[in-house]
Amino acid sequence: MASDRIGHTSANLVGVPPFEVRQVTTDFILSQPQVADNIMRVPLNEILMLSIKDNGIKNPLLCMKQWYPLAGSQRIRAVAELKKEYPDFNVNITIHRFLEDYHNCFYLWPDKEFRSKAIAIYFQTQEVVFKSLYYKETEDVDGTLMTEYEDIGEELKWKRDVVNRRGSSASANSNTNSSDTGDK
């Protein structure tokens, strides 16, 4: 699902929670507590990392209220890895950040298995709408389709079993396939 897109007409029919658009840096995102506590659980997409090193991050990220990326986690993970070798690596990025955690209503549902699936579906549908409406760059400088990075990321082993439940965004990437599985 990470590389799926829908038409603009369909995407505009989906209710999207209120969000703000901010220009920040990758250092800012990496310094946010929920991101700092969880980003290394995201699998490293090495091909994406090399592309980001050379070309930066092209498409915006979709973040939850506490700044954890729903669409963009693999890009931020790649930057965290790059900073190990290049501590000053820091790029400007555009963030669309939900102002509230509307998914929290699902925590009222008593069946935990259904609840987890409902939250995952909610996040995945918000992600596909976001990517369909706001991803303008479709290929990298070398001609690699952005969706190829997403497909590679989708195949990586995700560590979804343990999630830091800091703040109100309790399930930053639990079963959500928080997939920015790569598109820059």
For the stretch 107-130, pLDDT in tens is: 999 999 999 999 988 898 888 888
- Residue 96 is inside which H or E element, if any? strand 92-98
How many whole angstroms separate alpha carbon 95 and alpha carbon 3?
19
Q: What is the distance in angstroms between the CA of the first residue and the CA of the last residue of the chain? A: 16
DSSP 122-171: HHHHHHHHHHHHH----B-TTS-BHHHHHHHHHHSPP--S-----SS-TT
Nearest-10 crossing angle of helices 46-55, 73-85: 70
pLDDT confidence tier of residue 149, bands split at 50, 70 and 90: low
Domain ranges of the chain: 8-155
pTM over cut 0.95: no
What is the pLDDT, as a whole number, of residue 184?
A: 46
Q: Which residue did the predictor score with more confidence, 121 or 146? A: 121
